A and B are shown apart, each in its own frame.
Chain A
Amino acid sequence: MKRAIAIMVGAAFILLLAMLTLVVLPYIQMSTEQVPPDLEPYTELEQQGRDLYIANGCVYCHSQQPRDPSFAKGDKDRGWGRPSVPGDYYYDRPHLMGTMRTGPDLFNIGARQPSDDWHLLHLYNPRAVVEDSIMPPYRFLFREVESADEDDHVVKIPDPYGPDSGQVVATDDALAMVAYLKALDHSYPAPTLPQPDADEE
C-alpha cells in the first residue's frame, strides 16, 4: 500500500507544481496588468448579446485575439487590429479568445462594421452580404410578420434572401447580439506585450 500511496501523492504533487506555474503565477501577474483607460465595461444590452454569443457558440469559428505583426503579420494586414493585451479582457467573464478562424477574428468587428443594418442582415443570412460564406444563418433571432408594428425593428432584406411575403423583424435578442458585436472595438491605444520573432525557435 505504501507504494500505491507514494505514486498517488507524487502524481498529485507534480500537478500542484504545474498549477503553480500555469495557473497561479499567470493569475498574479495578469491581475496586476494595467487596464487600458479607454476600455469601457459592457452595457446590460451588450452583456445580453455576449451571453447569446456564448449560447450559440460563435467562439468555435471566431477568435478574439489578433497576434503581433512581427509574429504573424497577416492579422494586422487583414485589418483585425493591434495585438491584444491582457488588460483588454478585463471585463470578459468568461474569456472568448477562441482557437479557430473558420471565420475572421472579431476583436475589432465593431470598428470594421459599425452598421446595425449590415449586422442584422448578415445574421439573418450571411450569404446575403458575403458571397459563399459558410456561416450558419441565425434566422431564429428574427420574426416574420405580415406587417410590422411601429416600434418593431424591420430588417430590410434584398431579394431573393427574404421571405415570400411579409416583413422580417429583429427580436430583442438579435438587437442585443448586434450591440455586443458593435462593442467589439478595441482600436484605442494600449501598451503591447513584447513578442518574440517567428524565427526564434
Chain B
Amino acid sequence: MTPTIAVLLIVTFLVSTVGLLALIWSIATNQFGHGKQAAETIFPPGEEGHGEDPARDISDTLDGNLPPNSEAINARQRADLSSRGPVLAWLCSAVFWLVLGSFYGLISSTKMHMPEFLANSEWLTFGRLRPMHLNAVTYGWASMAGIGVALFLLPRLFRTALVGARFAITGCLIWNVGLVLGLLAINLGLSDGEEWLEFPWQIDILFVIGGALCAIPLVLTAANRKVNHLYVTSWYFMAALVWFPFLFLIANLPFAFPGASGVTVNWWFAHNVLGLWVTPIGIGTAYYLIPKILGRPIISYQLSLLGFWSLALFYSQVGIHHIVGGPVPTWLVTLSIVHSVMMSIPVITVAINHHGTMWGHFGRLKDSPTLRFVWIGALMYTASSLQGSMEALRTVNVITHFTHYTIAHAHLGMYAFLSFILFGAVYFIMPRLMDWEWPWRRMISVHFWLVSVGILIYFVSLTIGGWKEGLALLDADMPFMDIVRMTLPYLEARTIGGGLMTLGHLVFAVHFVAMLRRHGERRYQPTLFRSTQQEASQ
C-alpha cells in the first residue's frame, strides 16, 4: 500500500467520523425540527388514530363525513387521482416483468439440476436466462414497482397534486423499451459481460432518460408542496432518485474501467443498486404504510433521520465485500467490510421504528393484507441486513463466497424484504386509484401463502446447501464433483420454492388484471384476509 493511499484512507475515515458527529450534534440540538410533530406530518388534522386500511372495525376509518375532516379527505383524493395515470403505467409494467422474470428464474433453477432441460437452443442456455432473470426482476419488477409506489406516495407526502404526470408516463414507455431491448440483447448473446451491468451501454442510456423523466415530476411536485416538513419517506425517495441515475451512468461508462479496476466498479455499482436504490424505496414505503395503516405515528422520528444519513454514509461503501480474498488492494476490502458492519446502525434504527410502531398492534396482521406484507418485508429487511453484515466478515465470507448461500441471501433481501413491501403497497394503492375493492379475498390469501412458503423453502434450502458447499470447497480432500452431487437436493428444493413463488405471482397477476377491469360487483368495504362483521352478518 502506498503512503498516499494510506493518508487518503485516513482522511476519508476522518471525514466520515466528522460527518457522523455533526449529525449527532444536529440531532441533539434539535436541528431536525419537531420530532413527534414531524412524524405526524402524514396525518391530516383529525386523521391520527384512524387507520387508513381499516383492519378490524369499519367505524375506525376516517370517512370524511365530519366537516372539519372533509378537507383532509378531499386533499388526499386529489393527490391520489393526480398520480393515477403514471402510477398505473409503472405498476402494470412491473407486474408483467415480475411474471416474465419469475419464469426466467424458474427455468434457470431447473437447469441447475437438470442440465439437459431445454439445452439444445443457445437462446435458452442457462448462462443467458439467468442474467435475463436478474435484469427482468431488478430493472423490470422491483425498479418499476418502486417508481410507481414513489409516484403515488409523493403527492400524498407533499399534500398536493402530482405535477408533470406526462413526463412520468413517457419515462415509463422509454424504460419499457429499454427493458425489451436489453433482455433481447442478452438473449442474443450481446451482454456487456459484467453481473448487474449486462445490458449493452447503448441501451442503458434509455434507462437514464426514463429515470430522469421521473425526477422531473418529483422536483416540480416538491416545489409545489403544501406541507412544511418533509416526511422521512420523501427523504429516501428523493435520495434514491438522485443516486440511481448517477450510479447507473458511471458504472456503464463504456471501456472506462479495464482489467482489475473493472471489478471494483462492478461491485461498487451492484451493491449500490441494492443499497441506494431499492432499499431506500422499500424502507421509505414501510415508513409511510405502517404508521398510516395503524393510524399512529412512528415512535422515534429523530432516529429515522439518523437512520437515513447513516444509511447513505455506510451503504455507499460496502460493495467491495463481494471481492473478499480477490485480486484487489486489501485496504479496499477492509474499508468495505468496516462499512458493512457499520450498516447495523441504520438497520437497527429502522428496526426500532418499524417494529416499535407495530408493537402492541400485531393483531392487525390477521386482517390487513397490506400490513401483513409490509411488516413481514420490514422484518426481513432487518434479518437480511444483519445477515449481510455478518457475511462481509472475512471468517464468514471465506466460507460463503462463491456458493449458493449468497444467492439465498440476495433473495432474502430482494424478495422477502423488497418484493413483500411492494406487494403490500400494490394492495394498498390499487383500490385508491381504481375506486374499486380487490375482487377476491381468498386470492390475496393464496398469493400470500404461496410466496411465503416458497421463499421459506428457497431460503432455507440454499442457505444450508450453500454453507455445506462452502465448507467443503475449503478442504481439497473432498473432490469437486462430490460437492456438486451434495448440493443437488438443495438445488431441487430451490426449484420447488421458486415454483411456488412463480405460482403466487400468477395468482397476483390474475387478481391485478381483474382489479384493473373492476371485476365483480361494487363493494364498499376493503378486502381483508377475514370477512368483517358487517359482511358476515349479511
Contact = CB atoms under 8 A, between A and B. Distances in A.
Contact of B327 (A3, A22, A86, A137): A86
B398 A72 contact: yes
B239 interface: yes
- How many chain B residues sit at the interface, stated as a range, is 35 or more
B201 to A, nearest CB: 11
Interface in A1-29: 1, 3-4, 7-8, 10-12, 14-15, 17-23, 25-27, 29
Contact of A33 (B111, B121, B260, B313): B260
Contacts of A68: 325
A54 B131 CA distance: 11
Contacts of A176: none
Contacts of B328: 26, 30, 86
Contacts of B319: 22
A83 B325 CA distance: 9
A15 B5 contact: no
B223 interface: yes
A14 B320 CA distance: 17
A133 interface: yes
B27 interface: no
B411 interface: no
B402 A100 contact: yes
A57 B268 contact: no
Nearest to B483: A101
A138 B476 CA distance: 28
A89 B260 contact: yes
Given A74-B474, A99-B406, A140-B122, A14 B312 contact: yes
Contacts of B94: none
Contacts of A4: 222, 230, 234, 238
Contacts of A59: 127, 193, 195
A45 interface: no
Contacts of B326: 65, 67, 84, 97
Q: Binding site of B, secondary structure by majority: helix, strand, loop or mixed?
A: helix
A95 B260 contact: yes
Contacts of B264: 22-23, 26-27, 30
B377 to A, nearest CB: 23
A14 B316 contact: yes
Contacts of A43: none
Contacts of A60: 126-127, 130-131, 195
23 contacts: A1-B222, A4-B234, A7-B238, A15-B246, A17-B16, A23-B250, A27-B265, A29-B2, A30-B261, A56-B127, A56-B128, A56-B189, A73-B474, A74-B475, A87-B260, A90-B259, A92-B262, A95-B266, A99-B402, A126-B115, A133-B481, A139-B119, A201-B395
Given A72-B325, A132-B485, 17 more contacts: A15-B272, A15-B316, A17-B316, A26-B261, A26-B264, A52-B189, A57-B127, A57-B131, A92-B258, A92-B262, A99-B401, A102-B404, A138-B125, A140-B120, A140-B125, A193-B327, A201-B393
Interface of A: 1, 3-4, 7-8, 10-12, 14-15, 17-23, 25-27, 29-31, 33, 52, 54-61, 63, 65, 67-68, 71-74, 77-78, 83-102, 104, 126-127, 130-140, 193-196, 198-201
Interface of B: 2, 5, 8-9, 12, 15-16, 111-113, 115-116, 119-122, 125-128, 130-131, 189-195, 222-223, 230, 234-235, 238-239, 242-243, 246-247, 250, 255, 257-266, 268, 272, 276, 309, 312-313, 316-317, 319-320, 322-323, 325-330, 332, 334-337, 393-395, 398, 401-404, 406, 473-476, 480-481, 484-485, 488
